[in-house]
A and B are shown apart, each in its own frame.
Chain A
């Protein structure tokens, strides 16, 4: 009796874990909501074409305005919009804005090599060269999967694994086959891993920690006011990590470990 009830208990626990993840994911997704569009979906293509025309004609400021209108007003934000916006900013020598746009594009299309190439190019043009800690690269290697899918893909993959785990689990209830048990175990592990991955994506979207300097030059102070001593100066395009965000000042950390407070108007927050 006990031996027979153990698989049932295990299955119930696995089901509970997945159900918990589902609840978290669903709640987060519902809370995220959808923005109210100001550009009608059928106008998106037209506006995009006009913006591209302005870009090709060298009217980069006009192109930036149109692309910004698309990404802020359209319900369908695509990587192409942010990518082209990044290009237009780069042509205006606004490296920080360009990097922010490319990073948003990369978040939507993380496997797009064009975006990566342009982002690398613009980063190389930034004045401040800061060594990334080796641990960061190692994290990207280990959790490559997280960095190669966008939030929507992460959710879809989780849903797939979740449905598969439910099906396999249900089948195993009726047919106690070894193969089905293994399949259930694998599917549950996969669903949990993908669920955690999805939650991290949702958390990153809701609480972005990245930032880019968008001012030509700005000072990083030892405290949240101009009266504090200047620790070091940063230039347009330097990427930072946010730690604390106050009313006017944010505490930031560079990849090399240096910390300080920077005026919020001099940075743009990106996830």
Chain B
């Protein structure tokens, strides 16, 4: 624990010193600058790539160097890294520019010199040579390639035509090897039907005593060409992250007493740099011999299909009416390329069969292609009775047994009922005998045309109805609303006293005037004045919903003025009531003439007040 504590402190101290040493580097002069060109390997295959590095030492800022183009070689810039080295207690800064070299042809190529512009002059690098050989001849020179194993194989080298084989691509790598951007390119597979449903698995495996991480890709294929067939090499591409070959901390100076590097720690790895090396490897080609299907024992109805299949049939309903359709679902399923299995032929007496495009569902189940092909057939029975959908069979070649086999579905019965719309036409016999009795025949054609336009009269009626719409639609609702109004009026008269008094005020006033006329006819003058006065007073009491008893002209004047009756009318009403009282209590000789005159006045006042909205409201 104590040792661990000291190690941590020592590492922290180194980190601080290393960071602090960056500052003086900026002051380095141009005269210490040098340019060096280096290749990751001197020889590569045509399908391989090499890494070119341009190391500019002695400066900490330079523009990107000018790499001369080389015919037949693509030079791709991969990035730059900057590093600091301490040699004999002297600090040295360097910038590394990385380029990937992708050859376009074989041959020997001279790369360089590369030019770098310094502050005072332009510097040139050395020259390197690269040899490009044919693909597959490249020597596995670099140790990193040995850390990767790629191989291709098939599970069956002598399959039958149409039998599924599995092409296996195994890619093993040491767990310490760091790879990114891995991909593969399949060869020409035109001699096979490929469902494109590869499966992938990964596992650890010990090979020659070393542990490898293995990625396995399985490609199910169906040979479509008989004879010798070759599956070309599969090319695997990947980028390998390679630590810099000469690490500045590899010196024994940085080893602890136990031989461990003091900088072998996640913290210091932040300051280390890695190169990305693009690599590609190929598998060996795989050869197989595809056999034709045996001709002997081939069933008569065989039209293709290799694998192991079964057939099921199902009806959407067990009962159907004549002329209506029922769906027969026919499912072919099993191992193998179900797409190759042809549609079974189905013919049923008294039933029309309509085919539809089948649907196919294929899955990769443990590297075995299994599938289902579903046919939906519309069956339209033409006659009643029990119809049996017969056994439906398909023949196929089973490569496991090496024989032709037949799969059959179970028969299905269908009960055909008479059609609801099936019509029977009354057909007159061609030569009527014995009274010309009519016979019923089942209809097997459309019914004949109609000779007469029967409902044309009805159509004329409809035209009249159409014209009457303008009345027919609003009239009933208007009548109803009228009745509703009457009922509501009656109801209010019954329940609302003020409303009833207001609505009956004029009628009662007219009754009083009629009584006044009777009194005049009977020469009872005071009674005539009294009735005239009551006609107006009670009318106003009813309209204003106040008690009529004890209502004086002053009360009336006050009430009417509150309702906004004009002052001249107010005065007229008050004067009229006072005159009536005078005539009633102080009879004179002028009373007969006056009383008749006052009946007219009372009518005039009532007529006016009836029009006055503030009172009648």
A interface, CB within 8 angstroms of B: 1, 4, 8, 11-12, 15, 18-19, 22-23, 25-26, 29-30, 34, 44-45, 48, 52, 55-56, 75-81, 83-84, 87-88, 90, 109, 113-114, 116-118, 120-122, 124, 127-131, 152, 155-156, 159, 162-163, 165-167, 169-170, 173-174, 232
- Cβ distance B389 to chain A, nearest Cβ, rounded Å: 16
6 contacts between A and B (CB under 8 A): A8-B488, A45-B456, A87-B449, A88-B449, A159-B473, A170-B480
| Docked complex Cα distance between A8 and B495 (Å) | 15
Please give, as numbers and ranges, the residues of chain B lying within 8 Å of A26 by CB-CB distance. 469-470, 473-474
- Report B-chain residues with C-beta under 8 Å of the C-beta of A170: 479-480, 483-484
Q: Answer yes or no: B422 CB below 8 A from chain A CBs.
A: yes
Q: A78-B453, A80-B452, A131-B316 are in contact. Are A118 and B476 (CB under 8 A)?
A: no
**In this complex, what residue of B is CB-closest to A233?**
B357
Is B449 within 8 A of A83, CB to CB?
yes
- Chain A's closest residue to B377 (CB) is A129
Distance A173 CA – B486 CA, assembled complex (angstroms): 9
Taking the nearest CB of chain B, how far is it from the CB of A231, in angstroms?
11
Find the residue from A116, A128, A170 having the highest chain B CB count within 10 A. Answer: A170
**Known A120-B419, A170-B480, A173-B484; contact A114-B459, beta-carbon cutoff 8 A:** no
Looking at the complex, which one of A15, A25, A166, A174 makes contact with B487 (CB distance below 8 Å)? A174
A15 and B380 contacting across the interface, CB-CB below 8 Å: no
Residues of chain B within 8 A of A118, CB atoms compared:
446-447
B419 to A78, Cβ gap below 8 A?
no
B491 adjacent to chain A (CB < 8 Å): yes
| Cβ-based interface call for B451 (8 A) | yes
* B438-471 residues at the A interface, CB under 8 angstroms: 443, 445-456, 459-460, 462-463, 465-466, 469-470
Which chain A residues lie closer than 8 Å to B443 at the CB level?
A: 117, 121
Is B446 touching A87 in the complex (CB atoms < 8 A)?
A: yes
Which residues from A are CB-within-8-Å of B421? 113, 116-117, 120
Measured CB to CB, the nearest residue on chain B to A123 is B323
Q: A78-B459, A124-B323 are in contact. Are A90 and B446 (CB under 8 A)?
A: yes
- Are A232 and B357 touching (Cβ within 8 A)? yes
Whether A22 contacts B473 by the Cβ 8 Å rule is yes
- Determine how close the nearest CB of chain A comes to the CB of B544; give it in whole angstroms: 23
Partner of B423, one of A78, A113, A128, A166: A113
Pairwise interchain contact A8-B323, C-beta atoms closer than 8 A = no
Q: Let me know if A166 and B476 touch, CB within 8 A.
A: yes
A114 partner, pick from B419, B423, B469, beta carbons under 8 A? B423
* Alpha-carbon distance A129/B421, docked complex (angstroms): 18
Give bound CA distance, A97 to B463, whole Å. Answer: 28
Chain A contacts of B473 at CB under 8 A? 22-23, 25-26, 159, 162
A117 to B473, CA, bound (A): 37
Expressed in whole angstroms, the minimum distance between the Cβ of B327 and any Cβ of chain A is 6
Contact at B378–A129, with CB atoms within 8 Å?
yes
Residues of B within 8 A of A166 (CB): 476-477, 479-480
Given the known inter-chain contacts A120-B421, A129-B354, A129-B378, please indicate yes or no for A8 contacting B449, CB distance below 8 A.
Answer: no
Residues from chain A with Cβ under 8 Å of B462 in the complex: 152
Q: Which of B423, B455, B470, B487 contacts A8 (CB 8 A)?
A: B487
Contact across chains for B480 and A80 when beta carbons are under 8 A apart? no
B73 to chain A, nearest CB (A): 45
What string of 1s and 0s marks CB contacts (under 8 Å) between B284-306 and chain A?
00000000000000000000000
Do A30 and B469 have beta carbons less than 8 Å apart? yes
Query: At the interface, yes or no: B472 with Cβ under 8 Å from chain A?
Result: yes
Give 1 or 0 for each of B421-432: 1 = CB within 8 Å of chain A CB: 111000000000
Contact A173 B483 (CB under 8 A): yes
| B-chain residues with CB within 8 Å of residue A34 when the two chains form the complex | 463, 466
Residues of chain A contacted by B7 (CB below 8 angstroms): none
B residues less than 8 Å from A116 (CB atoms): 421
* Residues of B within 8 A of A (CB-CB), count: 49
Give B593 Cβ to nearest chain A Cβ, in Å: 51
Other-chain contact of A29, B452, B455, B466 (Cβ < 8 Å): B466
* Chain A residues within an 8 Å CB radius of B448: 87
Question: B446, A121: Cβ atoms under 8 Å?
Answer: yes
CB neighbours (8 Å) of B447 from chain A are 87, 114, 117-118
Taken together as a complex, chains A and B put the C-alpha atoms of A19 and B475 apart, in Å, by 10
A84 cross-chain contacts in B, Cβ below 8 A: 449-450
Across the interface, name the chain A residue whose C-beta is closest to B353: A129
When C-beta atoms are compared, the residue in chain A nearest to B449 turns out to be A84
B480 touches A15 (CB 8 A): yes
- B interface, CB within 8 angstroms of A: 316, 323, 325, 327, 352, 354, 357, 378, 380, 419, 421-423, 443, 445-456, 459-460, 462-463, 465-466, 469-470, 472-474, 476-477, 479-481, 483-484, 486-488, 491, 495
A120→B476 contact, CB < 8 A: no
A174 and B483: CB pair below 8 A?
yes
Shortest Cβ distance from residue B479 to the other chain A in the assembled complex, whole angstroms = 6
CA distance A159 to B471 in the complex (A): 11
Q: How far is the CA of A26 from the CA of B443 in the complex (A)?
A: 43
Complex partner residue of B459 from A76, A113, A130, A167, CB under 8 angstroms: A76
How far, in whole Å, are A25 and B477 apart by their CA atoms in the complex?
A: 14
Cβ contacts under 8 Å, A131 to chain B? 316, 325, 327, 378
A128 B354 Cβ-Cβ under 8 A: yes
Inter-subunit contact B488/A163 (CB<8 Å):
no
For residue B457, give the distance in angstroms from its CB to the closest CB of chain A.
10
Expressed in whole angstroms, the minimum distance between the Cβ of B330 and any Cβ of chain A is 15
Task: Give the docked Cα–Cα distance between A30 and B465 (Å).
Answer: 12
In the complex, which residues of chain A have a beta carbon less than 8 angstroms from the beta carbon of B357?
232
| Given the contacts A25-B473, A76-B460, A87-B446, A48 and B453 also touching, CB distance less than 8 Å | yes
Shortest C-beta distance, B493 to chain A (Å), equals 13
By beta carbon, the residue of chain A nearest B424 is A117
Contacts of B378 in A (CB 8 A): 129-131
Query: Please, how many angstroms separate the alpha-carbon atoms of A169 and B466 in the complex?
Result: 25
**Among A12, A44, A117, A152, contact of B484 (Cβ-Cβ < 8 Å):** A12
* A100 to B: closest C-beta gap in Å: 15
- Which A-B residue pairs are the 5 nearest by beta carbons? A129-B378, A166-B476, A117-B423, A170-B483, A80-B450
A15 and B487 CA atoms in complex are apart in Å by: 15
- Chain B neighbourhood of A19, CB < 8 A: 477
**Which residue of the partner chain B has the closest CB to A156?**
B465
Q: Is the CB of A121 within 8 A of B323?
A: yes
* Complex alpha-carbon distance, A118 and B425, angstroms: 12
**Are B469's CB and A120's CB within 8 A?**
no
The verdict on A11 contacting B484 (CB below 8 Å), with A121-B323, A232-B357 known, is yes
Q: What residue of chain A has the Cβ atom nearest to residue B482's Cβ? A: A170
Report the separation of the CA atoms of residues A156 and B483 in the bound assembly, to the nearest whole angstrom: 25
On whether the beta carbons of A159 and B481 are closer than 8 Å, the reply is no
**Which residues of the partner chain A approach B488 to less than 8 Å between Cβ atoms?**
8
CA distance A79 to B188 in the complex (A): 67
Judge whether B449 and A55 touch: CB under 8 Å. yes
- How far in angstroms is the closest Cβ of chain B from A173? 4
- Chain A residues whose C-beta falls within 8 Å of the C-beta of B419 in the assembled complex: 120
CA distance A165 to B476 in the complex (A): 9
How far apart are A36's CB and chain B's nearest CB, in angstroms?
14
**CB-based contact A76/B456 at 8 Å:** yes
User: Beyond the given A26-B473, A129-B354, could you list 6 further A-B residue pairs with CB under 8 A, ordered by the A residue number?
Assistant: A4-B491, A34-B463, A84-B449, A87-B446, A130-B378, A159-B473
A78 to B451 alpha-carbon distance, docked (Å): 13
In the assembled complex, the CB of A168 is this many whole angstroms from the nearest CB of chain B, namely: 10
Look across to chain A and name the residue whose beta carbon is closest to the beta carbon of B460: A76
